[in-house]
Structure formats: C-alpha cells, structure tokens
Chains A and B, each alone.
Chain A
Amino acid sequence: MTTVTADPAPAPAPPGRSARPSWLRRSWEKHWYAWAMVLPVVIVLAVLIFYPLFRGIWLSFTNLTEANQVAEICTRSITGGEVCKDNPNKWEFVGLDNYLRVLTGEVGEFWQWTGTTLIWTFVCVACHFGLGLGLATMLNRPMRARGLYRVLLVLPWAVPAFVSAFAWKFIFNERFGLANAALSAVGIDPVSWFADRWTSLFTAIVTNIWLGVPFMMVALLGGMQTIPSELYEAAEIDGASAWQRFRSITLPGLRPVSMTVILLGTIWTFNMFPIIFLVTEGQPAGQSEILVTGAYRAAFEGIRNYSLSATYGVLILSILLVFSVFYRQALRKQGEVW
C-alpha cells in the first residue's frame, strides 16, 4: 500500500545510517512507520466493526433468525450415525421486507421510538452543553476551593453507567425513593414515575444529564483555558461587561471544542443504551423506549431475530450518518474546517 511512493533505486542501507536520505526514501520510511503504527487498530476495527457492518447490511435483506439459521437438520439415528437433510425453512433473501415491516410499524414502533429518541437526544445534549458551559464558566474564574468543586463536579463521570442507572432508579423508586420523599416534604403527592410515558422518560433524562455534564464541562473548561487571557484583559480595559466578554471572546473561542463535543455528545446520546434499558426498562409498556433499546427488545426478546436487529442497526446508522453529513456541511458553510 505504501509502495506507490517507494523509491526502488537506492541500495538498501541500514535505516538511520545514511547521512541524508532522499526525500522519497524518507517519505517511504515515514509511511511504513505510520502504517505499522495504525495497523493493529485498523485490523481490529476491520474485523470487529466493519465486517459486522457489511454482514449486517446483508442480513437486513434476509429473514435470518435463531430458529432458521441452520442449513441442515441433523438427527441422530439409532446406530449412532447422523442423518442430515436440508432445512425446508432455511433462511433466505427477502429483499426489502424487513425495512417495510419496520417502517410501516408492523414490527415494533419505529416512528414512536424515533420521536422519543429525537426528544431524548435533543433535551439531553442541550442540557449537557448548557449546564456544562455554565459550570465551566464559573470554574474558569479564580476563586477559593476551585479544585475541590472541580473534583466533585466531575465525579459522576467516574461512576460506571450501570451504577448511576441503579442509583437513580433507587431515587425514583415509587415507594421509598428520595424523589417522592422530597415531593411529599413540600406537600406534593408522590408520583409513580414509571407509570407514565413522560415522567418515565424524565427520570431517564435526569439520569443521563447527571451522567453527561462532567464530560462537557471538562472539555469546555479545557477549551476555555486555551483562550489567551490577554483577550479578556484587553476587553476589560475597553470596558466590556462580563456578558459581552462571554459572548464575544469565550463563545467564539470555544467554537472548535463545542462543535466536536456536540457532535460526539449527540452520537453518544442517540445510542445511549444502558440508561433507558436499566432505568425505565421501557415502562410503561414500552412507551419510553428509544431506538436502540426498542430495537434490542424487538429483535432479541423471544426468538432472536438477527435480520431484524440488523435492519434496525442499518436504520440507526443511516440516521446518524445523515445527521453528521448535514452537521459537517453546516460547519463548512460557516467556514469551519473540520
């Protein structure tokens, strides 16, 4: 793959020995090294991500399930030998059937899940970013106990997601949860959080916001610290108010970081499996499912339906790809090279 730039002419000299290697030779060495350095990752990704992807795309056009995956049905005869014959219900190519069944709502609730996913993603990312930005702005000032605040505020990041899910499920427990106790304390009737679609979704969103703010905060705080302080000093001398400084120095300075973390945050939240799966469990009656959890349940509860899960996978990936392309184009239009 790198031989295109290889120079066949020079005699093989021990690397690093020749006093001044030619440009071609140096670039060949560079490419060789670069490829060697990325190769393990490329191989693992190719085997474990891209092979499954292409296989998934193919499977989404078949009707493969756990039940019809074997090509031959073998029965053991009395003599100990095995008699095999073709499985009459063997899986086969079915064209766009899976997509039609999913998109028309024959299986699962694609459109409802998509709607919930969009709400979920938008609310979570907006809150992550807003709260993260607010906290980072506060933490970026010199003050007492700043280091302590920072450690405490980043702490939720260190908690494994399933523990956070459990902690919040515990808090939103209908009978002995902290949330209902707090509500009763101020004279509001206890809420059965998981009995209604919106309160159920609310608990998951709260959990996810709690979980996701630290990452945004840390990334934005890092971004703020790369903004030269001379800019702020100059603005203060010019009499700019705190709000003006924030709007005209901090926000533009954070643009590159913000664009990256918003894109990553959107992708991560869109595919955030454990929170919905463990906190709401889709209650009530699957109404709080997002696409990934809904697809998981539709495809894997009962007989595992591999082709259906592949279909959902392709649809989810397509949505995210379309989103990223538009996002990138929007950035390009504003002159951002990304």
Chain B
Amino acid sequence: MNAAAPILLEMRSITKEFPGVKALADVNLVVRAGEIHAICGENGAGKSTLMKVLSGVYPYGTYDGQIVYQGAETRFSDIRASEHAGIVIIHQELALIPDMSIAENIFLGNEPRKRGAIDWKAANRMALDLMARVGLQEDPDTLIKDIGVGKQQLVEIAKAFAKDVKLLILDEPTAALNEADSRHLLDLLRGFRSRGITSIMISHKLNEIEAIADQITILRDGRTVETLNIQDGVDEDRIVRGMVGRELSSRFPDHTPKIGEVFFEVRDWNVRHPISAERQVCKNESFVVRRGEIVGFAGLMGAGRTELAMSVFGRSYGVFESGTIVKDGKEIVLKSVADAIAHGLAYVSEDRKALGLNLLDDIKASTVAAKLSKISRHGVLDEVREYQAAESYRRDLRTKAPTVDEGVAKLSGGNQQKVVLAKWMFTDPDLLILDEPTRGIDVGAKYEIYGIIQRLADQGKGVIVISSELPELIGLCDRIYTVFEGAITGELARADADPETLMKQMTSTKKMQTR
C-alpha cells in the first residue's frame, strides 16, 4: 500500500556532531504517509539523536542537513515548533505526573479554557473521546499512579492525539510492557495506520518490528545502513545482520551446563505489601537453586517476581511474614541487604538507573560500591586496589569506556548493565539474582551478557534470571518457574519449556502439583 504513498518526511544527509564525537554522519530517512516505520540499531547507533534532531530538541542550526516535512523544508527551533507541525515524540520514560488525573495529564500545557479558567467539563469530555481512540477504559479522574504502565503508555498516546498528531514517534514503546499490553499497543498502532496516521517506532524487540513495521531503517555507528521493506521477506536474522554488520550465528552462546547439588532453597515464603497489609504479594512460594544452574522466573508484569526476589534479598521489599531460607544445608536469616551480601547473595535490579547505580559515580566507584570492605583496611579505602578491581572487570566484561574514570551516566544501557554486573560479581556471590538483565539493551550486548551469565554459572554459582521475554528464558535457563499473582504455578525443565506452556502457567491460578 505504501510504495506509492506520498513521502511525509524526508531527512537528508543529517550530520550531528558533539564535541569530539560525530553522533550522526550523513543519515537519510524517508518516511511515507500512513506507514509504520521502524528504526533499528544497537545502543549508540544514533537513533535517539536522530529523533531529537527531528523533534527540535536539537534545533535547526545545530546540525547539518535538511528536513523536508509535508513537502517543505522545515527548521524547528524547539519541541513546541515540531509539535505544532504535528510531530509528537513519546519517550521511553513516560512524562506523566503521577499525582494528577488522566484528564489533567492529557491536557497538561494544552488545557481547554473558557474565559481564562480551565473548562474541566470540556476537558473530561474530550479526554473520554481521546481515551476511546486509544482503547483506554478508565475514569478520566483516575490518578496516573493508580493505573499500570501499559495504561500510562496509552495516556501518553492520547496526549499526543490531543495535540493533533500527524507523525507519532515512539521510543521503545513496549520496553516496560508485558506481553498482553504490548500486543494491545501494537494493535493500536495498526489501527492508526489504517486511519492514515504515520508512526516511527524505535524498538529493540525485533519480533515486534517484524510483526508490525512496513519499512525498517537500520542505523549503525551513526550512519544509515539500509532501509528494508517488510514485503521483501525480512526476518529477524536479516535485521540483526544489518544492525551488527555480521551474522550472529545464534542469539545465545553455546553452553553445556554443569549442574551440581541444590545449595539454595526458599521454603513457604510469605510476604505482605509494604503499604496495604491485606495484600499478600508472595503466597507460600518455595523454590530451589542448584550450583551451576540458571533458573528462570517467568511471569506477567505484576506477578510478584521482583517482589519475591527483593524480599529474599535482605527483606528489601514488603513486610516479611514467614518462610525460611536454607543455604548450603543451613538455615540463614537475612534481615538486611548487608546480611544478604554477607551470605553471598547478589541482586541486580530491573531498573539499573533508579536502583542499580549512582549515576554521579564513575565506573570505579560503582564497581566496588557493594563491597567496600574488599578494597579497604580498617575502613580506609585503597585507591589503587579500587582501580585495579574496576579495570580488571572492565577488561573482562569488555565494558566500552575509555577508562574506569568515566562517569556511568555517560555509558550506554548495555555498558551500564555490565558495570552493574561487575558491581555484583565483585561481591563474590554464590547466588546471583538478575532481574530483567537485558532490558533495553541491544542485540550485541545481550549476547555478551548471556555469555557472562553462563560463565558465572560455570563457576559453580547459582543464577536466577527474571525476565519478561520468554525466548530469553527459554534460550538461557536450565529450569523455569512460572509465577502468577504472587504464587509459583509451575516448574519446567528447559527441554519442556515452550512459549505456549509457559504462557498458560503464567496466567493460571491453579497451583501445580509440587514434586
């Protein structure tokens, strides 16, 4: 349908330089009206920079090249100018105010007025209309903090419609969504397409791109590699090849597990919600981990996997009720994170920027942060040992940074994750709990992180992987537990795990027969 469609947007030989770095070099992008155009590339390939040029975050004059939009060259001076032209960008980190209602958020900065005052009647009516268009069934007075991430995403899109959007740009729209919400969002995008709205979508989830995109532009190292047409039979491997410039023989490194004895066991674990005490977030959960084993935890968003992991990790979540932890045959009580670290547990959180790292630190300080005692004598830190430790992990994990003096805020997602991994490897744990270890990370870095996880297992450590991506769990884990509404509902060996079975157990209330 779209080969003949008129060109809506053309970005011609865009070049954007930062001091010392060429972020974009001669990038070309052609988007036709009414299509879904995906932009792929590894982290640091220049996707976000390109979108910032387009939306006026980097105003005209700070880049070289031309933007032709709706047949005329445009020179946006700021975001307001691009929004005025109908280009709306929805960032991965949602820009909503949690303590305001849906309607208030939709019309924030754009409030319908009557004689100077906000016309709330009209706002609510228009909000309902916009919400219907994105398939969001909620009271417009509901506060943003009371609805899930998936619905918040829809509010963002409704907000874009309030601005009369012609070109919708979504940056990693499904990164934080579970499978059901993702599917809903993709359906929504298809619906927009049939109504003639053009979308640009940045995503690392290649299966989604394959399922939804009409055209795919691949960036690598700040340059346009190619634009693929989905009708020419493009599959995931083809996209990966373009992104990394080489064929990844497999998405997962080859690995023969060396599984030993059970060394870590959680029995009858019960935890209550930290604020509403009547809510039980962990219901009688029990699981075991063997040495050298990679154990997966599958579940939908909100199933309570993170809550389980964090409550085991020194009661860092919720109100502990009952349950025992047995490690190496002995019962241990972990009342604080410090206890957990001392007993050889490590927890790599799902949100590396909010919970995993102090973004003011450099790589050095981040690497040693969870076990300062290892580089200090009588509480006095040894700078040289700190440097050496950080440097050896940087080399070992191939963290891309000129030196370990580099601030972690400057690193890309994949490299930040490597620093977080180094931080926890530095504590010499026996059991590593990795919560969404590859979220928002590009394909090449994912492969490397899988390799690191396998190496850790081969050293005789137990590894727990919590992930919302089923292919990742199936490809990486030796055994997978499924969690639904705070209870463990199933356990599958790698050989028996397939997406359908997992999904069934992830959504069933029936408790499986424990062996």
A and B are partners in one complex rather than unrelated chains:
no
